[in-house]
Amino acid sequence: MKAKTILGGLLMAIAGGATALFAYTRIIEKPEIIVSNDSAMTELHDGRAVLTSYQVPEVQVDLTYAAEKTIHAVVHVRTMSMVVQPENPFLEWWYGDRYRNAPSEREQRGFGSGVIISPDGYIITNNHVIEAAQNIEVKMNDNRVLPAELVGRDPTTDIALLKVEAKNLEYLRYGDSDNLKIGEWVLAVGNPFNFTSTVTAGIVSAKGRNLGILEDQEYRIESFIQTDAALNVGNSGGALVDTKGLLVGITSAIYSPSGAYAGNSFAIPVSIVKKVVDDLRQYGEVQRAIIGIGINELTSEIAEKQNLKEVKGALITKIYDGSAAADAKLRENDVIIKIAGIPVATPSELQEQVAKYRPGDKITVTYVRNGKENTVPVTLKNVAGNTSLVTRDTNTAEVFGATFESLSSNERRPLKIDGGVKITKVEDGLFRDLGLRRGTIITFINGKKVENTADVRNAISSNQRSLKSVEGYTPDGRRFSYSFSN
């Protein structure tokens, strides 16, 4: 009897405790959700715990190997150029002969980074780092300073190739930018401040970015790799490498409202860089292959009309006469979805793929027309509309002791002209006698419009008496016109 009493009391105590606990958790206080570091994250919804996310254990990425492979192959590039001082009537009036007799040119210095790509001293940098430079030198990571020769440059991709006399240099090998994944870790290595190489890390944020910053609006090739690796002034021309220490891009730009790093940096993919560098080494000029089309972004409306499953591809807006596209019977409003079997989601990606080829190369183009997919062979052409390769001699001209080169769109824009050539070098000859200096722009010779260097040779013969008139702009932007009677 005593045992039954004790057992009954115990059961009543347990029941009372359970009732009190239920009342406390359901009525007096809301339930507490406890989450450990490796558990599912939850929140309370209508009295129930609901799964919202899951915490994944952190994976440590080791970037030390890539950094060690890269830092000695990245250099500091220093440039010097002479800039013509603009005329200033006020200073001329104030200082008189002291101002008029002062040097008409001043020294301007610049700097950037470069990447060694061969043991015998070939170095990649950005075109905007060395543009207009008269003297270039390279400071190696071991503090040696070497003079550099400009092998060639390509404004349409912002790539330039330098050469120093050296042997057994540490260099970077090419990686594969086509297979870079969004979210993949990369290192940006530069030498911006004349210290030794500086390393920053980030992930690939996007691919195929078009920023509209390169000078040639018609033939520029922009398909940048976007990262969040910190870049600052002077990093231009540096290396973007993967975790294996392979070169996947050349750092080129930052996107920032203040001019300082703000979380977005951009690199030229090595798929473009390798082709440009190979051309510069072999020919001195880039062999630009084009399909001969105008292209635009694809819209969801057009994708729906073409029965496309995704809004991916490049819309043809124009077919140029005599172009590779015209020969292949492509039409306006066709949507290109593959180049040589590789899918292209944007116009930038199309440009990146075509940039791998040279005039005369045969590729396949896959497009959609009226909802039907087609693939046609295309023989690529050059900007002149044929399949010939160009050499350096066809892009420069030397007449009467002066050497010329065609103007970039950036140089034409302030003057509001659509042609012209610039004097890059003046030696003994008629143009020096006329007082024309380096940087002078010529727009007309003998009344004929000069749009490229070939026009210079065509306008006059080797006989200096054939020169009747010259029109153009002085290096500081003043218009001039000379006429001669022989």
What single letter denotes the amino acid at residue 91? L
C-alpha 325: how far from chain center? 26
Active site residue 128: yes
CB neighbour list of residue 179: distance below 8 Å, 6 or more residues apart? none
Whole-angstrom Cα distance, residue 254 to residue 224?
Answer: 11
Whole-angstrom Cα distance, residue 383 to residue 299?
Answer: 28
- Comparing C-alpha atoms, which of 268, 78, 67, 280 is closest to residue 172? 67
What single letter denotes the amino acid at residue 216? D
CB neighbour list of residue 382: distance below 8 Å, 6 or more residues apart? 287, 288, 289, 290, 359, 388, 389, 390
Active site residue 216: no
Identified catalytic residue from 223, 236, 271, 406: 236
Identified catalytic residue from 154, 158, 279, 334: 158
Q: What are phi and psi of 397, to 5 degrees?
A: -140, 140
Identified catalytic residue from 128, 177, 223, 323: 128
Whole-angstrom Cα distance, residue 476 to residue 416?
Answer: 15
Active site residue 418: no
Q: What are phi and psi of 365, to 5 degrees?
A: -120, 125
Q: In this structure, are strands 247-254 and 314-319 parallel, antiparallel, or unpaired?
A: unpaired
Range 242-261 burial, b when 16+ CB lie within 10 A, else e: beebbbbbbbbbbeeeeeeb
C-alpha 67: how far from chain center? 23
Q: In this structure, are strands 122-126 and 159-163 parallel, antiparallel, or unpaired?
A: antiparallel
Kindly list the catalytic residues: 128, 158, 236
